[in-house]
Amino acid sequence: MSCFLICGALFVVAAYFYHETVVKGQRCTSNAKLHGKTVIVTGSNTGIGKCAAVDLARRGARVIMACRSRERGERAMEDVKRESGSNNVAFMPLDLASLKSVRNFAENYLKTEQRLDILINNAGLYMEGRTEDGFGMMFGVNHLGHFLLTNLLLQRLKESAPSRVVNVSSLAHNFGHVDFDCLHQNKTLGTGNSFMQLMQIYSNSKLCNVLFTHELHKRMQGTGVTCYSLHPGAINTEFARNINWFTVMFLKPITSFFFKTPEQGCQTTLHCALQEDLEPLSGRYFSNCTARNLLAKARDDATAKKLWELSERLSGLV
């Protein structure tokens, strides 16, 4: 009995240590103030995007919350204002599943805002379906919508330099690949609707985020615009709203203990957006507020260039 109690106590201590040191992770240590600067955060009505918006507003930035749902976005905007103590927060509608919406957002932004110092491409989803333009939902929202948005705002980023683009990816990119034949034939990153097939498509879209960052860095050298991709960690957020209820309930005990809170999960985003002297690491991938090495497929020049050129055609940039 005493042996059982000792083992149980050791397990509790080990679990607590793991949660405090591994799950919570590192925090952004930057003391940067952002008065006079403007930041866009996509998908900021919930989760890590909303937490990042609160932090950036507290630092004095003008924060543009770019979200699909007007009702949810405006409600979140009021939350961010209250929690940050700043009224310099605005909502602008952006549906990344619609290239028309992306273009409308960029046009309105360029008419009304004079600066863009930080663009945080945070929005992402895990779900099947098609976008308004017929693309696979995860390819269209997780990659193509952000690709078009970034390109439409690049001139304003250059004018506001030094400026940064932060692309929220995932550790799942390690399991991804880009099937260009599938993209050409089906306008999607994969087919099938089982859990594993959808997870593969999600991983593929997250690889696109990293490859986009790699190529963007090469094209922005000398402009004062730097860019970073990142893994925020496993986050206990509303991301799971697109997964069936049985899976959510099954995973809840695990996510409650082993997943980060949104506030913990936004720290690497904030690090990439704010950390001083990060410019020499432009194009790199970060996890737990630290630059990490990538697999060869995630930094392949030819694949990144090919994805960029295809994305230009699919989004109507060329």
Residues recognised as catalytic? 202
- In whole angstroms, give the CA distance from residue 188 to residue 179: 9
- In whole angstroms, give the CA distance from residue 155 to residue 153: 6
- In whole angstroms, give the CA distance from residue 50 to residue 43: 8
SS3 state at 290: strand
CA dihedral in degrees (236, 263, 30, 64; nearest 10)? 100
Report the chain's C-alpha Rg in angstroms.
20
DSSP 8-state assignment for residue 240:
G
Residues paired with residue 41 on neighbouring β-strands, in sequence order: 65, 120
Q: What angle do CA 239, 138, 174 make, to 5 degrees?
A: 85
Determine the distance from the C-alpha atom of residue 310 to the mean position of all C-alpha atoms in its chain, rounded to a whole number.
21
- Is residue 143 within 8 A of residue 205, CB to CB? The reply is yes
H-helix or E-strand spanning residue 7: helix 2-18
Q: What angle do CA 177, 181, 183 make, to 5 degrees?
A: 75
For residue 66, the tally of other CB atoms under 10 A from its CB is 28
